[in-house]
């Protein structure tokens, strides 16, 4: 059965591609894309000079409700952190340095938030 691609999913894919291009131009290397596990999904997992970076890519057309960066709620952060823990354990990277970034697109702007949130996991 063919997978249905919605306009929202297509826009998400386009912004993930832009994120990859932008972050690789800043020296990061892509490890994996759309990592999925039971706890959640991580848009991009990248390497930044030995640091594993879990990147959430967000897009909002306007800032009416706080914009793209503000849409990464505490609940979403927890899901990302649990998925990151799964990735680290599955890839035997338990002792790796890591961080959580957000790359937000919206209203013609691009905002890269390094260390956007902290996870105690």
Residue in 15, 89, 53 with CA at minimum distance from that of residue 45: 53
Q: What is the pLDDT of residue 119?
A: 75
Of 1-10, 18-27, 29-38, give the lowest mean pLDDT range: 1-10
Q: Which residue has the tokens 């957000």?
A: 102
Strand partners, 57: 103
Q: What is the pLDDT of residue 12?
A: 67
**pLDDT at residue 72 greater than cutoff 70:** no
In the predicted model, what is the mean pLDDT of the chain?
Answer: 84
DSSP label of 42:
E
Identify the CATH assignment for 7-117 out of 3.40.720.10, 3.30.200.20, 3.40.1350.10, 3.40.50.300.
Answer: 3.40.1350.10
Residue in 69, 72, 63, 57 with CA at minimum distance from that of residue 9: 57
How does residue 3 score in pLDDT terms, banded at 50, 70 and 90?
low
**pLDDT at residue 104 greater than cutoff 90:** no
Regarding predicted confidence, which is higher, 115 or 62?
A: 115
State both tokens at 45.
């997992």
How does residue 46 score in pLDDT terms, banded at 50, 70 and 90?
very high
Contact 68, 59 (CB under 8 A): yes
């Amino acid at each position: 059965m063919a997978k249905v691609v919605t306009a929202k999913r297509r826009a998400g894919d386009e912004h993930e591609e832009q994120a990859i291009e932008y972050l690789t131009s800043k020296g990061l290397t892509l490890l994996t894309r759309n990592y999925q596990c039971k706890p959640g999904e991580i848009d991009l997992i990248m390497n930044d000079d030995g640091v594993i970076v879990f990147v959430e890519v967000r897009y909002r057309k306007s800032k009416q409700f706080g914009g793209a960066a503000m849409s990464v709620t505490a609940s979403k952060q927890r899901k990302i952190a649990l998925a990151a823990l799964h990735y680290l354990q599955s890839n035997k990277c338990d002792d790796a340095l890591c961080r959580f970034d957000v790359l937000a697109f919206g209203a013609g702007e691009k905002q890269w938030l390094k260390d956007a949130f902290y996870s105690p996991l």
